[in-house]
Structure 1
Amino acid sequence: MSSPHIFSCRIYYEDTDLAGIVYYANYLKFIERARSEWVREIGVDQVALKAEQGIVFAVRRVEADYLSPAKFDDVIAVETRVQDISAARITLTQDVSRGGVALFRAVVTLVCLGADGRPTRLPADIRQLMQR
Protein backbone atom coordinates (compact mmCIF):
# COMPACT_ATOMS: atom_id res chain seq x y z
CA MET A 1 0.00 0.00 0.00
CA SER A 2 1.03 3.57 -0.61
CA SER A 3 1.59 6.19 2.06
CA PRO A 4 -1.69 7.81 3.10
CA HIS A 5 -3.20 11.09 2.01
CA ILE A 6 -4.97 12.88 4.88
CA PHE A 7 -7.97 15.17 4.36
CA SER A 8 -9.53 16.90 7.37
CA CYS A 9 -12.92 18.51 7.65
CA ARG A 10 -15.38 19.69 10.27
CA ILE A 11 -18.86 18.24 10.71
CA TYR A 12 -21.54 20.88 10.20
CA TYR A 13 -25.17 20.90 11.28
CA GLU A 14 -26.22 20.15 7.70
CA ASP A 15 -24.23 16.87 7.85
CA THR A 16 -26.25 15.49 10.76
CA ASP A 17 -29.62 13.83 11.17
CA LEU A 18 -32.36 14.36 13.76
CA ALA A 19 -30.31 12.46 16.35
CA GLY A 20 -27.39 14.88 15.88
CA ILE A 21 -25.06 12.32 14.32
CA VAL A 22 -23.67 12.28 10.79
CA TYR A 23 -26.22 10.94 8.33
CA TYR A 24 -24.82 7.69 6.94
CA ALA A 25 -24.75 8.78 3.26
CA ASN A 26 -22.64 11.83 4.08
CA TYR A 27 -19.62 9.62 4.73
CA LEU A 28 -19.64 8.94 0.97
CA LYS A 29 -19.41 12.71 0.40
CA PHE A 30 -16.50 13.02 2.81
CA ILE A 31 -14.52 10.23 1.15
CA GLU A 32 -15.33 11.65 -2.31
CA ARG A 33 -13.92 15.03 -1.29
CA ALA A 34 -10.83 13.31 0.10
CA ARG A 35 -10.29 11.41 -3.17
CA SER A 36 -10.67 14.62 -5.18
CA GLU A 37 -8.10 16.39 -3.00
CA TRP A 38 -5.72 13.42 -3.19
CA VAL A 39 -5.86 13.36 -7.00
CA ARG A 40 -5.34 17.13 -7.13
CA GLU A 41 -2.42 17.01 -4.69
CA ILE A 42 -0.56 14.30 -6.61
CA GLY A 43 -0.72 16.53 -9.68
CA VAL A 44 -3.61 15.16 -11.73
CA ASP A 45 -5.87 17.80 -13.28
CA GLN A 46 -9.13 15.91 -13.80
CA VAL A 47 -10.66 18.68 -15.90
CA ALA A 48 -7.67 18.65 -18.28
CA LEU A 49 -7.63 14.84 -18.30
CA LYS A 50 -11.23 14.80 -19.49
CA ALA A 51 -10.79 17.65 -21.99
CA GLU A 52 -7.53 16.38 -23.49
CA GLN A 53 -7.89 12.59 -23.30
CA GLY A 54 -11.59 12.03 -22.64
CA ILE A 55 -10.74 10.12 -19.46
CA VAL A 56 -12.73 10.25 -16.22
CA PHE A 57 -12.77 8.21 -13.00
CA ALA A 58 -16.01 6.57 -11.88
CA VAL A 59 -16.87 4.68 -8.71
CA ARG A 60 -17.63 1.06 -9.54
CA ARG A 61 -17.94 -0.36 -6.05
CA VAL A 62 -17.96 0.75 -2.42
CA GLU A 63 -17.73 -1.58 0.57
CA ALA A 64 -18.59 0.45 3.67
CA ASP A 65 -18.37 -0.25 7.39
CA TYR A 66 -19.90 2.18 9.88
CA LEU A 67 -17.96 1.79 13.11
CA SER A 68 -18.82 4.74 15.38
CA PRO A 69 -20.81 7.96 14.89
CA ALA A 70 -19.39 11.39 14.18
CA LYS A 71 -21.32 14.34 15.61
CA PHE A 72 -21.87 18.02 14.99
CA ASP A 73 -18.66 20.10 15.27
CA ASP A 74 -16.31 17.09 15.25
CA VAL A 75 -13.18 17.40 13.14
CA ILE A 76 -12.64 14.23 11.18
CA ALA A 77 -9.72 12.96 9.15
CA VAL A 78 -10.09 10.89 5.99
CA GLU A 79 -7.06 8.73 5.24
CA THR A 80 -6.83 7.52 1.65
CA ARG A 81 -4.43 4.77 0.57
CA VAL A 82 -3.93 3.03 -2.75
CA GLN A 83 -4.51 -0.67 -2.25
CA ASP A 84 -4.13 -1.83 -5.85
CA ILE A 85 -3.87 -0.45 -9.37
CA SER A 86 -4.50 -2.47 -12.53
CA ALA A 87 -4.78 -1.45 -16.17
CA ALA A 88 -8.11 0.37 -15.76
CA ARG A 89 -8.97 -0.03 -12.08
CA ILE A 90 -7.86 1.63 -8.85
CA THR A 91 -8.74 0.20 -5.44
CA LEU A 92 -8.44 2.49 -2.42
CA THR A 93 -9.00 2.13 1.28
CA GLN A 94 -10.48 5.18 2.98
CA ASP A 95 -10.63 5.41 6.75
CA VAL A 96 -12.49 8.16 8.60
CA SER A 97 -11.45 8.89 12.18
CA ARG A 98 -11.83 11.46 14.94
CA GLY A 99 -8.89 11.87 17.27
CA GLY A 100 -7.64 8.39 16.51
CA VAL A 101 -11.07 6.76 16.93
CA ALA A 102 -12.16 4.81 13.84
CA LEU A 103 -15.57 5.94 12.60
CA PHE A 104 -15.97 4.61 9.06
CA ARG A 105 -14.02 2.44 6.65
CA ALA A 106 -14.52 2.00 2.91
CA VAL A 107 -12.86 0.04 0.17
CA VAL A 108 -13.55 1.94 -3.04
CA THR A 109 -13.01 0.61 -6.55
CA LEU A 110 -12.65 3.23 -9.28
CA VAL A 111 -12.59 2.57 -12.99
CA CYS A 112 -11.01 4.66 -15.69
CA LEU A 113 -13.54 5.45 -18.44
CA GLY A 114 -12.99 6.84 -21.93
CA ALA A 115 -15.13 9.39 -23.75
CA ASP A 116 -17.38 6.54 -24.95
CA GLY A 117 -18.13 5.53 -21.35
CA ARG A 118 -16.25 2.26 -21.67
CA PRO A 119 -13.30 1.16 -19.54
CA THR A 120 -9.96 2.43 -20.77
CA ARG A 121 -6.37 2.08 -19.62
CA LEU A 122 -5.08 4.37 -16.92
CA PRO A 123 -2.30 6.49 -18.48
CA ALA A 124 1.15 5.33 -17.30
CA ASP A 125 2.13 8.78 -15.97
CA ILE A 126 -0.99 8.94 -13.79
CA ARG A 127 -0.44 5.38 -12.55
CA GLN A 128 3.08 6.39 -11.45
CA LEU A 129 1.75 9.43 -9.57
CA MET A 130 -0.85 7.28 -7.79
CA GLN A 131 1.67 4.60 -6.79
CA ARG A 132 3.98 7.04 -4.98
Structure 2
Amino acid sequence: MKADTFRWPVRVYYEDTDAGGVVYHGAYVRFFERARTERLRAMGFEQDELRTREGIVFAVKSMNLDFIKPARFNDLLWVDARLVEAKRASLVFEQEIRRQADAGELLCKTQVRVACLEADAFKATAIPDYLLQRIKDEF
Protein backbone atom coordinates (compact mmCIF):
# COMPACT_ATOMS: atom_id res chain seq x y z
CA MET A 1 0.00 0.00 0.00
CA LYS A 2 1.35 3.41 -0.95
CA ALA A 3 1.80 5.95 1.84
CA ASP A 4 -0.94 8.24 0.48
CA THR A 5 -3.55 5.47 0.34
CA PHE A 6 -6.54 5.34 2.68
CA ARG A 7 -7.63 1.83 3.72
CA TRP A 8 -11.09 0.78 4.96
CA PRO A 9 -12.06 -2.72 6.21
CA VAL A 10 -15.16 -4.44 4.81
CA ARG A 11 -16.70 -7.84 5.54
CA VAL A 12 -18.70 -9.56 2.82
CA TYR A 13 -22.24 -10.25 3.99
CA TYR A 14 -24.69 -12.67 2.45
CA GLU A 15 -26.63 -9.72 0.97
CA ASP A 16 -23.49 -8.83 -1.05
CA THR A 17 -23.39 -12.19 -2.82
CA ASP A 18 -25.21 -14.17 -5.45
CA ALA A 19 -26.68 -17.63 -4.87
CA GLY A 20 -23.22 -19.17 -5.19
CA GLY A 21 -21.75 -17.06 -2.40
CA VAL A 22 -19.69 -14.90 -4.78
CA VAL A 23 -19.79 -11.12 -4.41
CA TYR A 24 -22.23 -9.62 -6.92
CA HIS A 25 -20.51 -7.13 -9.23
CA GLY A 26 -22.60 -4.16 -8.02
CA ALA A 27 -21.46 -4.71 -4.43
CA TYR A 28 -17.89 -3.73 -5.36
CA VAL A 29 -19.18 -0.27 -6.32
CA ARG A 30 -20.72 0.11 -2.85
CA PHE A 31 -17.47 -0.99 -1.21
CA PHE A 32 -15.49 1.57 -3.22
CA GLU A 33 -18.01 4.30 -2.32
CA ARG A 34 -17.72 3.49 1.39
CA ALA A 35 -13.94 3.89 1.36
CA ARG A 36 -14.13 7.31 -0.33
CA THR A 37 -16.88 8.43 2.07
CA GLU A 38 -15.00 7.20 5.13
CA ARG A 39 -11.87 9.04 4.00
CA LEU A 40 -13.81 12.30 3.83
CA ARG A 41 -15.31 11.53 7.23
CA ALA A 42 -11.85 10.87 8.70
CA MET A 43 -10.88 14.34 7.47
CA GLY A 44 -13.88 15.81 9.31
CA PHE A 45 -16.23 16.24 6.35
CA GLU A 46 -19.67 14.65 6.32
CA GLN A 47 -21.35 14.58 2.93
CA ASP A 48 -24.76 15.55 4.30
CA GLU A 49 -23.20 18.58 6.00
CA LEU A 50 -21.45 19.59 2.77
CA ARG A 51 -24.84 19.51 1.07
CA THR A 52 -26.47 21.59 3.79
CA ARG A 53 -23.65 24.04 4.53
CA GLU A 54 -21.97 24.38 1.11
CA GLY A 55 -24.78 23.37 -1.23
CA ILE A 56 -22.64 20.72 -2.93
CA VAL A 57 -22.74 16.99 -3.50
CA PHE A 58 -20.26 14.61 -5.06
CA ALA A 59 -21.41 12.23 -7.81
CA VAL A 60 -19.60 9.55 -9.77
CA LYS A 61 -18.99 10.80 -13.32
CA SER A 62 -17.16 7.74 -14.62
CA MET A 63 -15.83 4.46 -13.33
CA ASN A 64 -13.74 1.76 -14.94
CA LEU A 65 -13.89 -1.56 -13.07
CA ASP A 66 -11.50 -4.48 -13.49
CA PHE A 67 -12.70 -7.69 -11.82
CA ILE A 68 -9.69 -9.92 -11.18
CA LYS A 69 -10.72 -12.61 -8.69
CA PRO A 70 -13.97 -13.16 -6.82
CA ALA A 71 -14.58 -12.19 -3.23
CA ARG A 72 -16.81 -14.60 -1.34
CA PHE A 73 -19.29 -14.64 1.51
CA ASN A 74 -17.68 -13.78 4.88
CA ASP A 75 -14.35 -12.62 3.38
CA LEU A 76 -12.61 -9.78 5.17
CA LEU A 77 -11.49 -7.19 2.64
CA TRP A 78 -9.40 -4.05 2.50
CA VAL A 79 -10.77 -1.29 0.30
CA ASP A 80 -8.16 1.29 -0.64
CA ALA A 81 -8.64 4.79 -2.02
CA ARG A 82 -5.87 7.00 -3.40
CA LEU A 83 -6.33 10.42 -4.94
CA VAL A 84 -4.50 10.69 -8.27
CA GLU A 85 -5.94 13.94 -9.64
CA ALA A 86 -7.63 16.98 -8.12
CA LYS A 87 -9.14 19.59 -10.41
CA ARG A 88 -11.39 22.56 -9.65
CA ALA A 89 -14.63 20.57 -9.96
CA SER A 90 -13.58 16.91 -9.99
CA LEU A 91 -11.41 14.33 -8.28
CA VAL A 92 -9.96 11.10 -9.66
CA PHE A 93 -9.27 8.13 -7.40
CA GLU A 94 -7.56 4.81 -7.94
CA GLN A 95 -9.04 2.15 -5.71
CA GLU A 96 -8.38 -1.51 -5.02
CA ILE A 97 -10.12 -4.25 -3.10
CA ARG A 98 -7.90 -6.90 -1.57
CA ARG A 99 -8.58 -9.93 0.57
CA GLN A 100 -7.16 -9.40 4.08
CA ALA A 101 -5.99 -13.02 4.05
CA ASP A 102 -3.92 -14.52 1.23
CA ALA A 103 -1.22 -11.81 1.43
CA GLY A 104 -3.62 -9.12 0.31
CA GLU A 105 -4.63 -10.80 -2.94
CA LEU A 106 -5.98 -8.21 -5.41
CA LEU A 107 -9.63 -8.86 -6.29
CA CYS A 108 -10.91 -5.74 -8.03
CA LYS A 109 -9.63 -2.31 -9.00
CA THR A 110 -11.13 0.86 -10.38
CA GLN A 111 -10.40 4.37 -11.46
CA VAL A 112 -13.29 6.68 -10.61
CA ARG A 113 -13.90 10.34 -11.45
CA VAL A 114 -16.10 12.16 -8.95
CA ALA A 115 -17.69 15.48 -9.93
CA CYS A 116 -18.70 18.27 -7.56
CA LEU A 117 -22.27 19.39 -8.25
CA GLU A 118 -24.63 22.09 -7.02
CA ALA A 119 -26.92 20.16 -4.70
CA ASP A 120 -30.18 21.60 -6.06
CA ALA A 121 -29.44 21.93 -9.77
CA PHE A 122 -27.02 19.01 -10.23
CA LYS A 123 -24.79 21.26 -12.33
CA ALA A 124 -21.01 21.10 -12.13
CA THR A 125 -19.51 23.58 -9.70
CA ALA A 126 -16.12 24.28 -8.15
CA ILE A 127 -15.10 22.43 -5.03
CA PRO A 128 -14.83 25.06 -2.25
CA ASP A 129 -11.21 26.25 -1.98
CA TYR A 130 -10.73 25.19 1.66
CA LEU A 131 -12.05 21.69 0.94
CA LEU A 132 -10.02 21.22 -2.24
CA GLN A 133 -6.86 22.29 -0.44
CA ARG A 134 -7.49 19.90 2.47
CA ILE A 135 -8.14 17.05 0.06
CA LYS A 136 -4.90 17.79 -1.80
CA ASP A 137 -2.97 18.05 1.48
CA GLU A 138 -4.39 15.02 3.26
CA PHE A 139 -5.56 12.48 0.72
TM-score normalized with structure 2 length: 0.90
Q: Which residue of 1 aligns with 2:72?
A: 71
- Is the 1:16–1:23 Cα contact (8 Å) retained in structure 2? yes
Matches within 5 A, 1:46-85: 46-85=47-86
- The residue type paired with residue 102 of structure 1 is L
Count of residue pairs brought into register by the alignment: 132
1:126 aligns with 2:126: no
- The residue type paired with residue 7 of structure 2 is I
Deviation at 1:45, TM superposition (A): 2.3
Distance in 2 of aligned mates of 1:7 and 1:81 = 12
- What RMSD in Å do the two structures reach over aligned CA positions? 1.4
Deviation at 1:2, TM superposition (A): 7.2
Matches within 5 A, 1:1-132: 3-99=4-100, 100-114=104-118, 115-131=120-136, 132=138
Aligned sequence identity (%): 34
After TM superposition, the runs of 4+ consecutive aligned structure 1 residues lying more than 6 A away are none
- Is the 1:2–1:83 Cα contact (8 Å) retained in structure 2? no
- Is the 1:88–1:121 Cα contact (8 Å) retained in structure 2? yes
